[in-house]
Structure 1
Amino acid sequence: MTLKQVFADLHIHIGRTESGLPVKITGARQLTFDNILQEASDRKGIDLIGIIDAHSPPVQDEIARNLDRGRYVELSQGGFRFRETTVIPGTEIEVRGDGKGVAHLLAYFPTLDVMRRFSGWMARYVKNMQLSTQRFHGPIPALEDKVAELGGILIPAHVFTPFKSIYGTAADRMSDILNLERLSAVELGLSADSEMADQISELERFSFLTNSDAHSLPKIAREYNELMVAEPSFEELVKALHRQEGRQVTANYGLSPKLGKYHRTRCLNCEELLPSAEIRCRFCGSTKVVRGVMDRIEQIADQPSRHPAHRPPYVYQVPLEFIPKLGPKTLECLLGRFGTEMEILHRAPLSAISELAGEGIAHHIRLAREQRLEIEEGGGGTYGRVKTRKTR
């Protein structure tokens, strides 16, 4: 069987249902299941997506209606096809480990029927099944067992962020909370990369994922993965994550960690970046300090960064929204010419981009492709930014 490379973003939230019911309170109203599919297929050029919040009963009703009328096609190997994009239904679950902080887990399932069965089971442990990322009031081993029983996969989400993640708030070691044998991969989050994560030995076995965690349509595919699979489907995704039969993650396209809003430790009072994971600001004395991912990893690292043989390259991805002076009108012009953001970022001739958008924008896209952009670091909830560089 011939394998091919596809782009995948597996962490996209739903803001509202088509009728306006809230799902992810912090998500945009336009972030409906169907709008996500249209954005991913027509504008982003993403082959495989994971839509979190498919556990929500009104969302499931929408999926069922679109399957019945043929807008989506359910695949025999799992997932739904819309035009050129396959979607895997998933959910984000909040768990608490041993009385410490909380962490988010992602679970994915092959079909709508299985997703509904999981939702029916989880409803006994969750207060509001309509809403996103609800607290699971049950034993974590029971959750792990149920996902496995239903043929789903479980992935810890944004594992280093200072809020609601395994290493950020819940534990120094993932194995203190989760059964590592039950996990299929690990999602890094916007403020970390493979070089940083591979300082923790228990992560060596896992494929890493870099996903957008999108809360609005433009954020889709700000981070994504390149997979080697036979086709975009649930079964092929599982094989790729477990590196079976030649399937694998062949590249992670993620933000430079410096662009992430939690990369560095920052004082929220005086907004100074701090050189280490301090709990009191050395500049103003405030205790309103958000610990950065870089400093947290330094605290818990148990080895020098050492990449296992299966680890693919981590390519610093700079979404078009970060390119200096690339406004909405210019972006629409580029999309009208080249079709999708993936085409602009990776394949469109720079000379043609320059003709449409100007030399400066083409120059920064070239620097992004070459991973030579200069970045001002982010932290404390503020994203980093790309510095403008003159053309030469």
Structure 2
Amino acid sequence: MATPRKTSLLLGLVALSLLSIASAEIFFEERFDDGWENRWVKSDWKKDEKMAGDWNHTSGKWNGDPNDKGIQTTEDYRFYAISAEFPEFNNKDKTLVFQFSVKHEQKLDCGGGYMKLLSGKVDQKNFGGETPYSIMFGPDICGYSTKKVHAIFTRNGKNHLIKKDVPCETDQLTHVYTLIVRPDATYSILIDNNEKQSGSLYTDWDILPPKTIKDPEAKKPEDWDDKEYIPDPEDKKPEGYDDIPKEIPDADAKKPEDWDDEEDGEWTAPTIPNPEYKGPWKPKQIKNPNYKGKWKAPMIDNPDFKDDPDIYVYPNLKYVATELWQVKSGTLFDNILVCDDPEYAKKFAEETWEKLKDAEKAAFDELEKKREEEERKEDPVDSDDEKEDDADAGTDSDAEKNAEADIEDVDDDAHDEL
């Protein structure tokens, strides 16, 4: 049983936690409930080309709560662009938290699920892929090679991509992506409330030149020995080593009965590799007693580096948006949050995603089960015959897999160029 002192301490910590959450500053929070259309502007980007896709307000084909709706892309081979405005703010001396959930119901082969924060004045009706942004964040999937989380910061008109690899989720369920940027220029990237990457804006992006560089004037000393191993001077070539032939006549070979020496010439036995032959002789290698290691130029202060204590600051954040090209539609965004408190964002994710994830997974599994049953009804195949066919066609299946891999490589190359 807890003592009165422990109980009091526990209640105090709970109260402190609730106070912290209550004091969180919420710059933008969108659950896509009634009236969401009044807060968002659908862009006319690509509309003249008849390539603009429309959004659907829905909870999707499977969900944890049919009343928990987001916005979903609806047409294949279309561009999508939409944005919402919030009161402009400056994140100087504040932690910036950018969080949203995304679900790829279409089993995405190649496409993004990222969102953007924009600064200053934006023409929302013409917002599109060329519109400058401040931060771009979220998952990107394309083939086998690209399954990562984008985290891009824009400075002086240049986009800086994160240098670390952050794998994203690739299934057809809802996942929550969170970016946290702190005033000390550190960051964290979370997926489903679990930290996947962290570090510093100084080191994990090339926003500023590096603080130190290799001394361009430094040269390796002439007496620097960087050979880790050397030939053993005591090792001597065995006598007769060079006399061992590489090939020898095949002792088991016999002259063919129809061999005619006059017509075919004198018969000689064919040669075979000599099992005694060991190749050109080389002395064994030993540790070099004079080895000093691999030489590296010393690091010096970079004369081009100028510190920017505001490297994390965006003074005019004013819009949240997304713009996508979708070959296969079905991506659904929901529960978007911009605030200054990671603990509030965690609780927000727990309330909007975690308590529904098991029900969503159950709904998805049930639909998959029904789909598989329908497929079996439409195309009944004896399981034993199918197994035999699969075994006989093993080589063909491998070839098909290799061909599919080649096609994916081509798709990946096209995605990288984009």
Q: Normalised by the size of structure 2, how large is the TM-score?
A: 0.25
Higher helix share: 1
